[in-house]
A and B are shown apart, each in its own frame.
Chain A
Amino acid sequence: VTSLSCFTEGIPLLSVLIFSPLVAAAGAALIGSERLLRWWTFVCTTIIALLSLPLWCRFDANTAAFQFTEQHHWIPSLKIDYALGLDGISLLLVLLTTLIMPLCVLASWNYIKTRIKEFMICLLVMEAAMIGVFSALDAILFFVFWEAMLIPMALLIGVWGGPRKVYASIKFFIYTMAGSVFLLVALIALRLHTGSFSLPGMMGQNYSDGFQYWVFAAFFISFAIKVPMFPFHTWLPAAHVEAPTAGSVILASVLLKMGTYGFLRFCLPITPHATVVFAPYILALSVVGILYGGFTALAQSDLKKLVAYSSVAHMGFATLGIFVLNVNGLEGATLVMINHGITTGALFICVGIVYERLHTRDLAAAAGIGKYMPVFTGFFGVFCLSSLGFPATNSFIGEFLVLAGSFAHSKWITACTIPGVILAAAYMLRTLQKVAYGSTSNPKHHDLTDLNFREIVTLTPLLVFVFWIGLHPQPFVHAMHASIVHVLQQAGQIAAIP
């Protein structure tokens, strides 16, 4: 790995990471054989995942400065640059993205039967845009990647999705687009204040209070829809339920993180005063989201819907952690983002595996498959426990940090959140109990086959991370610590070290 790091010295790694999926997509366009297409996409995404490893090895966790920076003029007359860079927060999210993508390809191996070429091209374009969103240091570059994701994602849902795919796809598109139009206005307004679209340049300026409120409101609508926070969440269950497995995984693991990432990257550093003013309301929405997600998940009989609503609850923890505005809360929130990406991604893959065999996602129909699919149940059990925040799994660390942070902020808010944790245990254990030990009277279950090698390979990396973060979270926390402290300094919550 060290030699790999040396080898990549001097190479613009982030640009390579952004453009190699596009090159791979162009390559995929030329391939005719379906089998070859799957292998090509899998190998390409794996290579991209390996290419992202030097980021982790060469990253200097002791500084909050942006690293691996690249800057070129793009449109000088509008003061738009092609500027890329990573800090501790975005580093983890980029790595999460590159990790998830090969697994998405594996999860769609047999699931996708039509238009495989177009599907793989959509996946690869998504990957480029997602890495771009997390590494852009120019507001317009960020916005371009942010929006460029919409079309492939809407196609993933709308072409390869379930029965109500078109409705879900259009709803997803319109919600996200409607949110982001105001983001663009806010970015232009900021550019006219600071003179350029550079994100670091927009941070730490003394904007007037009124200006900050407007900009924050525009940011908030856009990011809250993406997270999604409580009143803006209605697109999520529809999109998740109808999307193919890979679409659900990308949506849950990466796309939702863009909202919380936006809060961290835009709201806190650029509009610190407005953040403090609006934080109580957002905390309230987060708590409502946690409870609402939990209760709704409890009532679901569709496995995918259940996981989707649990996402609303988990992301509530992430926004809660961000807006308590202390180190524990923010670190917890970032960990929740990563953990949710790993655990919920894995759960969606599991649901996809069930669906491929039973052609239904109904919890009752899946009851008792544990007897015939022991290996699957082992994986599924671990991910369920992880999702409810069982100690020694990843989610425990994240949620614990968030609750510790929120306890320091306000005991009442923490107290209101506790039922959410109990609800998570209730709906996840209920699901696990039914799937693993439910009555086995269903005759369709007799010819069920357990996980094959490909499916085990898909789930194993996620299992490793569940325990790695659960037992030894220090490397991850260390990587983000300096950046988190810096964000809080910019938000005026910690005195800046002279």
Chain B
Amino acid sequence: MTSIATFLPELVMLLGALGLFGLTLSDSAGQRARSFALGIAVLAALAALFSLHANGVLFSGAYRVDAFSQLLKFALTGGFAAIVIVSGNLPEIREKIRPEYFLFLTLSVSGLVMLVSCVDALTLVIALELSSFPLYLLVAMRRERTGQRSQMESAIKYIMFGVAANGIMLFGLSYLFGLTGTTNIPLMVAKLTPQIGTPLAIAGLTLTFAGFLYKLAVFPFHFWTPDVYQGASNETTSLIASLPKIGAVAVLVRFVALATPDNHTIATLLTCLAVASMFYGNLIALAQKDLKRLLGFSAIAHAGYAMVGFVSLSEAGYAAALYYITGYMLMVLACFVVISRVSRDGTNVAIDELAGLHHRSPLLAVTLIVGLFGLAGIPPFVGFMGKLSLLTAALAQGHLVLVVIAMINAAIAIYYYLSVVRKAVFGEKSGDNAQPAPIQLDWQTRGLCVGLIVAIILLGVAPARLLEGYGRSVTATLTPPTATVGLVAR
């Protein structure tokens, strides 16, 4: 009943990680590891495309392969390929540990790839950890600058928050397990429905959210975001900022679906988180000088927008959140391609350093404009359609105040995105260094830039297929399967 196709993307990723592990043992140069990782990424994306219509339940019902998981796996592996391309020269990672860098990169993404298929709390936690731990290491891998150990501070901060959030999540899961007697999430839904209004169920659910909200950087689990963005190397940040968000939203869909639309407690809770995230992220982003820090705070705000989709507690809202976060991945990657190429020797990029970008590399300037205007939610880019579908879903459930607050935030956000664009497009370099050298791009980067621009516009102009694909797959994946017992049953 299950063919190899159901597990092909994961298999490619894991075998690739194994290969990279082999490379780390030899004294090979980092460039070989990168080519290898790029090969894995492309193969995995092809495998995900090949198994797009695969269907099946593996590992005693703990692992579900369906349209939902396969669509997300394709997005994740595609994003992985983009990140490997972004990680071109890796000036901030020492030559010797570059194979390790790509190994951990691959492991982290393979954790995410598995995460979206997990329908059992146990496998889910394991996949979540598999995706998290390599990231902690990647942050710490940045080259040490004289007198600064900011990468270590960031890594410690990241770990501490991650571990704490995971602990809270496990505590919540223990409540849910106690209430339902199963770790299988679809079974949990069935058993929890009668008692979802009880304080214990709500407490359990809320605590469980912590682990995923941390990944998504929703207020109040956001504190790590700006510091880790700033402390990690540009290439690492491009991973932290993009793919884990998709994984977090995918898991949140499964857990939020435990609550029914008439559950006001959960809806109110999520509303508060969404509003706080949006205001916090946007208002603080206004004052940022470092581009990565700015994107960090904007990430908090965007997590808030994604939460707007969850507030509706409807399948349309979940599909909108998935669509939005997929688009967000593309837009944020577009920004990070530019950051990693503009940066001198891998240092962080201040907004002022973007001045004259249109002279130095028109393609990068256009990529940045498309990415930022997309994030600002201006049509015809994907960010606009994402916001539109999120707001429509929320308003359909009567959350007018939340929608108005979201739009006020969109208006605030325009200012800081625009001030970055202003530097890049209108700004001229002042001082002695009037005409900085043009930036040379290799063909992979150029291809990635063009690909991201096309994808951001295409998904914004013709979102019907993806949006409906997500809609159908969410409906399908949330209907409980007929006969599963779960890994652990009481």
Contact = CB atoms under 8 A, between A and B. Distances in A.
B470 to A, nearest CB: 9
Contacts of A143: 379
A178 B391 contact: no
B441 interface: no
Contacts of B378: 147-148, 150-151, 177
B426 A184 contact: no
Contacts of A150: 378
A465 B378 CA distance: 36
Interface in A335-378: none
B414 A177 contact: yes
A74 interface: yes
A191 B392 CA distance: 9
Contact of A192 (B395, B407, B418): B395
Contact of B407 (A77, A151, A181): A181
B291 to A, nearest CB: 18
A144 B392 contact: no
Interface residues of A, number: 32
Nearest to A161: B426
A103 to B, nearest CB: 27
Interface stretch (B87-95, B220-228, B460-468, B479-487): B460-468
A265 interface: no
A166 interface: yes
Contact of B373 (A78, A151, A178): A151
Interface residues of B, number: 36
Contacts of A107: none
B12 interface: no
A155 B408 contact: no
Given A143-B379, A181-B410, A185-B404, A74 B464 contact: yes
Interface string B375-397: 00011100011001101100110
A277 interface: no
Contact of A75 (B395, B403, B419, B467): B467
Contacts of A151: 369, 373, 378
A76 interface: yes
A140 B388 CA distance: 9
Nearest to A187: B388
A158 B426 contact: yes
Contacts of B369: 151
Interface string B75-111: 0000000000000000000000000000000000000
B395 A188 contact: yes
Contact of A184 (B388, B415, B422): B388
B296 interface: no
A185 B403 contact: yes
A311 interface: no
B414 A174 contact: yes
A188 B418 contact: no
A159 B425 contact: yes
Interface string B291-328: 00000000000000000000000001001000000000
A165 interface: yes
Interface in A56-114: 73-78
B355 to A, nearest CB: 11
B476 interface: no
A155 B415 CA distance: 16
A184 B410 CA distance: 11
A169 interface: yes
A170 interface: yes
A468 interface: no
Contact of A159 (B403, B426, B463): B426
The interface centre, meaning the residue of B379, B385, B395, B427 with most chain A CB atoms within 10 A of its CB, is B379
A77 B388 contact: no
The interface centre, meaning the residue of A76, A173, A191 with most chain B CB atoms within 10 A of its CB, is A173
A261 B386 CA distance: 28
A19 interface: no
Contacts of B244: none
B85 to A, nearest CB: 24
Contacts of A140: 388
Interface in A129-158: 140, 143-144, 147-148, 150-151, 155, 158
A182 B426 contact: no
A188 B422 contact: no
Contacts of A147: 378-379, 384
B371 interface: no
Nearest to B410: A181
A53 interface: no
A144 B380 contact: yes
Nearest to B464: A75
B471 interface: yes
A185 B391 contact: yes
A422 B119 CA distance: 76
B411 interface: yes
A181 B471 contact: no
B15 interface: no
A181 B392 contact: no
B422 A158 contact: yes
Contacts of A166: 422, 426-427
B400 interface: yes
A429 B275 CA distance: 56
B465 to A, nearest CB: 10
Given A140-B388, A155-B425, A173-B418, 16 more contacts: A74-B464, A75-B385, A77-B467, A144-B380, A144-B384, A147-B384, A151-B369, A151-B373, A169-B422, A170-B419, A170-B422, A174-B414, A181-B410, A181-B411, A184-B407, A189-B400
16 contacts: A74-B462, A75-B467, A77-B316, A77-B467, A78-B388, A140-B388, A147-B379, A151-B369, A169-B422, A174-B415, A178-B414, A181-B407, A181-B408, A182-B407, A188-B391, A189-B400
Interface of A: 73-78, 140, 143-144, 147-148, 150-151, 155, 158-159, 165-166, 169-170, 173-174, 177-178, 181-182, 184-185, 188-189, 191-192
A-B residue pairs, 10 tightest by C-beta: A144-B379, A181-B407, A166-B426, A75-B464, A147-B379, A178-B411, A181-B411, A158-B426, A77-B468, A177-B414
